[in-house]
Structure 1
Amino acid sequence: MNEISILTTLAVVHLVALASPGPDFALVVQAAGKHGRKAGLAIALGISLAILLHAVFAITGVSVLIQQLPALGVALKVAGGCYLLYLGIGALKTVPGRLRQGDGPLLKGSADSLNIKQATIKGFVTNLLNPKALVFFLSLLTSLVPTQMSMAGKGAAIGILWGLSFAWFALLSYLLTGKRMQQKLQGIAVWIDALCGTVFTLVGGIILGSVLMATIG
């Protein structure tokens, strides 16, 4: 298989993975619907930068090293699980009060607002600490990108993963923040938080549960 075929296959597989709902998808939906386009785009940038780092780790062998150090792998899973639980519980605990008082658009500068820097960091940390992302990119790149591939080819593979990631989540954010769509999302913002909070909590709980079961076993 030549390098163009490899890169094409890599792009297709990655696009399918991006389209599958998960914590990253939920985070963009939540941020775009609740805080607007700039926050959604910043989340998209943060997620894509974390994916860029995952890709570099996988290509350079750092991910393999992490996988071969059980203590480091467990620490990553615990950190990722705890962070997702933190996001989930943080979203869910606001739901009852907002339902009682009636939910409305967030005011700029309110305590619950999200600036560009905060949104970028939130997207970056959410993806970086997701242990499933580490495993996915390690498996994807080691199975599709041969060790003898040229440096230009490996660089292109990393660029494709980053570029597609940012483009997908940026497009999602853009579509969710059109005027009509934003009005609809603001009307159900509390339910979006409830759904996203549930997703974060479940994924975080599953990750921590798997660590606990492995420890007991």
Structure 2
Amino acid sequence: MSWLPILPLLGVWILVVMSPGPDFLIVLRHSAGGSRRSGVRVAAGVVTGIGVWAVAGLFGVTMLVQRFEWLYTAARVAGALFLVAFGVATIRAARKRSPQADDEPPAIAARRPGRLREWRAGLLTNLANPKALVFFGALFASLLPHHANLAMRAVTLGAMLAVAFAWFSAVAFLAGSPWITRGYGRLRKRLDLLTGGLFVGMGALLIPR
């Protein structure tokens, strides 16, 4: 099978997946505040969420949501509430954080959340944005060849997930560098307050008007 028909789609996808957003922030926070492994586990959760939305877009769930608009509205409200709640929790934890906690070795902090919770944090952060379903529906409708069979769809999905995991793993690797983790440790309270505020803002943008 030739890759040429799906190259335009992959080109757009690379630009989209590299744009900053909640997924980028959650991977960055766990990597800089914990460890590279922590960030990679969060990245795996993010990519799992991407896979869910992509599969839904590939098999026409977008049309179902467009037909029953209340489903999309409910998903947006749920996603907005999750992002706002996560942001508020991050802000509250940052305010309660003692100066001694900032000197805690990153390896200890990385063990606290637990591997499954780290993966789940990435998954839920990605799933909190139902606009992804509309995006994937539009992306596949406009750039995926109309003659694409199941094999081509599977290859396209695999390539997109590989690109996403490679990107977020690279973010985790760079953010988990010793000099970044040390800098994050010194500014952790301020950065967590900023991150929490960004999540609250992103959640507010999802609330239907």
Deviation at 1:81, TM superposition (A): 0.3
Give the match's secondary structure for 2:3: helix
Q: 1:7 to 1:123 in 2, by over 3 A?
A: same
4+ residue stretches of structure 1 with deviation over 4 A?
A: 105-110
Partner of 1:82 in structure 2?
81
Partner of 1:194 in structure 2?
193
Amino acid at match of 2:43: A
Any unmatched runs of 5+ in structure 1?
A: none
* Cα deviation digits, residues 100-158 of structure 1 (max 9, x gap): 74651456667x92111001011111111212222221111111113321222111111
Partner of 1:203 in structure 2?
202
**C-alpha distance in 2 between matches for 1:117 and 1:33:** 19
Could you tell me the percent identity over the aligned residues? 27
Partner of 2:120 in structure 1?
121
**C-alpha distance in 1 between matches for 2:123 and 2:13:** 18
Give the match's secondary structure for 2:30: helix
Amino acid at match of 2:124: V
Partner of 2:42 in structure 1?
43
TM superposition score normalised by structure 1: 0.87
Matched, 1:176 2:169: no
Partner of 1:185 in structure 2?
184
Partner of 2:166 in structure 1?
167
Amino acid at match of 1:64: M
Deviation at 1:3, TM superposition (A): 5.5
Q: Summarize the alignment of residues 144-155 of structure 1 with structure 2, pairs less than 5 Å apart.
A: 144-155=143-154
Any unmatched runs of 5+ in structure 2?
A: none
Amino acid at match of 2:65: I
Amino acid at match of 1:192: L
Contact 1:51 1:127 (C-alpha < 8 Å) held by counterparts: yes
Amino acid at match of 1:139: A
**C-alpha distance in 2 between matches for 1:102 and 1:21:** 31
Give the match's secondary structure for 2:164: helix
Deviation at 1:91, TM superposition (A): 0.8
Two-structure CA RMSD over aligned residues (Å): 2.2
Partner of 2:71 in structure 1?
72
